[in-house]
Amino acid sequence: MVSRDDTEFLALLVHRGLILRDVAERVFPELQKGAALDELLVHHTGLSAETISRWRRTRGGEIPEIPGYEILGKAGSGGTADVFRVREKKAQRVIALKVLNVESTRNTKTRSAFASEARLLEKLRHKGLVEGYGVFKSGNTYFSKMEFIEGHTLLELLDDGHTFDEKAALRVVLGAAEVLTYLASQNIIHRDIKPGNIMISSAGELKLIDLGFAGRSDEAPAESDTTVGTVHYLSPEQARGGATADERSDIYSLGVTLFHLVVGRLPFESSDDREVLRMQVMQSLKSPELKSRGLSHQLQYFIEKMMAKDLEARYQSWQELIDDVRQQIEGRESLDFEKQIRERAAKRR
DSSP 8-class letter at 285 = P
One-letter amino acid of 113: A
User: Residue 313: which of 251, 221, 233 has the closest Cα?
Assistant: 251
Handedness of CA 312, 330, 254, 307 (dihedral sign): negative
Catalytic residue list contains 192: yes
Cβ contact 174:220 at 8 Å: no
DSSP 8-class letter at 129 = B
Distance CA 220, CA 246 (A): 10
User: Residue 19: which of 39, 37, 44 has the closest Cα?
Assistant: 44
Which spans in the chain are helix H?
Answer: 4-15, 21-32, 37-45, 49-58, 102-105, 108-123, 154-159, 166-185, 236-239, 247-263, 273-282, 288-292, 297-306, 318-348
**Half-sphere exposure of residue 325: CA atoms within 13 angstroms, side-chain side:** 28
Distance CA 332, CA 200 (A): 22
Burial of 67 (C-beta count, 10 Å sphere; 0-12/13-18/19+): exposed
Handedness of CA 335, 336, 337, 340 (dihedral sign): positive
One-letter amino acid of 303: I
Distance CA 237, CA 169 (A): 25
Q: How many residues does the chain have?
A: 349
Cβ contact 154:172 at 8 Å: yes
One-letter amino acid of 103: E
> Which of the residues 82, 192, 210, 324 is marked catalytic?
192
List residues with catalytic annotation: 192
